[in-house]
Structure 1
């Protein structure tokens, strides 16, 4: 099944006055009509000032090299909640959930270093057999010859089990972790949002924090273990955190461990279904999984944007950015930049340099869990190929209402009997 072609949106994207072109509208991603808007910006105005949006004025940085320039210059472009945070909508005052993704050095460096052992190569090697065992269990349980939602039966199931492992949380209660994650990252204006205000979201975050804090205190009294909570409860830079600080860092691991992997698991199947020749090439050459996985992560781009705030006057792509300006870097556009990536709209399983994507970010904020995400995806595709599953996409995907997460809610499929 090919990607939807919306002639009206293509025409609109190229006919709008530039000062009215606003890529922050969640409807663009919900309807999956975003590509031509970014194509025009990359071509005509790659560092684009949007004077009016529901989130206030902002700069949209849409080309690969300009995005990298912003990412690596953390001294000029801040991630701190003190100046607005990492999302296009400002962090709500008094309701912040600060963690190292929302910090600048040196605080960022101390926290990140403390928890990096949870996803280092030694830890991942120990996890591999468990991930494969669970992947086999999920794939073997899927129905044959009847429709089902791949997102629910595979993507959510596998990532929720991984979250339970990271937190050493009861596996039978893993659905609670997914509900919390969806609540904390949703657009409160989405039709299906589980909360309708920032205050309601914060109240749920506090319930989560108080619940997880019981585990934190319990593990602080025991010898240090492998899980995220135990590592932080014993860490020099994290053990004395306040409840609010603990909430922020635990939410970061919860959301980060869920959404990137979950939406790449769904996006990978979608992409390979839209490019059946590539799917066939992967079936004939299973060793291409190692290049197919980062290509899937690029093609899907699970995180649509990140936001920075200028701490000083700076120049990007010939445009003058003033101190205090909101600068939004659009990963979903950088990963389609035809001046850097050959045939960027296609999913190519044997792409020459598949890791040269920006889905994991750059610089000090590069995704801490990128190796774990790739490990889970590699195992999933190895086991699909080993079984030679014939998976048919039955209809278009249903996306989340969000300008932050490129999230698939429903992917109807059928596996041949």
Structure 2
């Protein structure tokens, strides 16, 4: 996509010419008025020509829920991102499958986030959060994304995979490579770098798989869980499926928490009355966490592919058409969420949002993400009177991951 071209004026562009797959909208944080137009004027919107080919945009909350819950007519195969898979890496994973295969593969790993295991993880997460926060340079400017958000989520990923702790930054690198090429989400990663990096990921985890096979260790990590389940015990023999599921679990364990950990700091600085409210009543932290996840919408869309011709809200969707559900737009839908354009940490129903999806594909790790963010803010409030944003955030060039790459801050002690 030509970065030099200006974005069209959202007030005057013809509605049929609005293309919300343009990743510059999110890098520049300019997306709101375009989605407002679509929700008001054309909520089931066809784009005939885009960087990713023709597709439908679904932008209202209730319409997204309906499509997300109907895997019979709207399939997750072959992929859930707007761009098509490349021939070099035709990855497969359970989020881009329909039942029953989806259910079988998901079941093999979902025990890692069972309530009992989450309870056991809480003290470890709190200990790590405390160590991260205690090392921050009080009074100096630093990048919150690197020092806190990435640091916390990468440590958690290493634990979930029982991955060598000293090499854990590779997990973040692979996660970023997976979602940032031009063909997939309008990013700017070189496809050759992506291929090399993800090949290294596959080689590394294939070695780990064989090292752990039948080793008798009872550790509850994702690789051993896949090995123990008879339905996934031989997944290593299907390299693209193995790599696809690794990437799914790495991205899922990384992006929601990481970008919400940064977005919370930004949102509270942009809405100082809400920061005052939080300081006055730290019991609002769980509610605030849900509001941050809505406000940020870390994964902005999910794609489905029509299994057959379907009439939906008066529009004719044809078999094979791409149907893109814009969770970001649904989370700002005024007809579904009162004062949706405002950041309010004590909403009556704060978990009423669509950042985790609906139906069979609802996010497996949503409770883990919420727990990590809750603990992070509980520990922040015990140490700092304010995490102050002191410069403009830098955002990721992507129409899939709503990411923040740089957030300059200073922390002020109590």
Normalising by structure 2, we get a TM-score of: 0.94
CA contact (8 A) 2:394 2:407 kept: yes
1:333 maps to which of 300, 325, 329: 329
Question: 1:129 and 2:111 equivalent?
Answer: no
Q: Aligned-pair distance for 1:94?
A: 5.2
2:128 alignment partner, SS class: helix
SS at match of 1:159: helix
1:222 aligns with 2:215: yes
1:20-31 equivalences in 2 (<5 Å): 20-31=17-28
Q: What displacement does 1:95 show?
A: 2.0
Instruction: Measure, in 1, the Cα distance between the counterparts of 2:376 and 2:262.
Output: 11
**Contact 2:95/2:361 (<8 A) preserved:** yes
Alignment partners' CA distance in 2, 1:291 and 1:234: 37
- Which sections of structure 2, spanning at least 5 residues, go unmatched? 1-5
Shift of 1:191: 10
For residue 55 of structure 1, report the CA deviation from its aligned partner: 0.7
Q: 1:299 aligned to 2:292? A: no
Matched, 1:18 2:15: yes
Structure 1 equivalent of residue 149 of structure 2: 155
Could you say which residue in structure 2 is the equivalent of 1:46?
43
Please report how far the alpha carbon of residue 17 of structure 1 lies from its aligned counterpart in structure 2 after TM superposition: 1.2
Which residue number corresponds to residue 263 of structure 2?
267
1:200 Cα deviation (Å)? 4.4
2:162 match: 168
* 3-state SS of paired residue (2:385): coil
Distance in 1 of aligned mates of 2:362 and 2:284: 25
What RMSD in Å do the two structures reach over aligned CA positions? 1.7
In structure 2, relative to structure 1, the CA distance for the partners of 1:192 and 1:185 (3 Å cut) is closer
2:362 counterpart of 1:369? no
SS in 2 for 1:48: strand
- SS at structure 2 position matched to 1:303: coil
Asked if the contact 1:400/1:406 (under 8 Å) is kept, the reply is yes
Pairing partner for 1:395 from 391, 394, 401: 391
* Paired residues, number: 404
Paired with 2:124 and 2:49, the residues of 1 have a C-alpha distance of 49
Unaligned ranges ≥5, structure 1:
1-7
Q: Residue 108 of structure 1 aligns with which residue?
A: 102
Aligned to 1:96: 90
What's the CA shift for 1:204? 2.4
Q: Is the 2:23–2:187 contact (alpha carbons within 8 Å) kept by the matching residues of 1?
A: no
SS in 2 for 1:13: coil
CA contact (8 A) 1:283 1:388 kept: no
Once the two structures are superposed, the pairs formed by residues 170-319 of structure 1 within 5 Å of their partners are 170-188=164-182, 193=188, 195-197=189-191, 200-223=193-216, 224-241=218-235, 242=237, 243-319=239-315
How many angstroms apart in 2 are the aligned matches of 1:21 and 1:78? 25
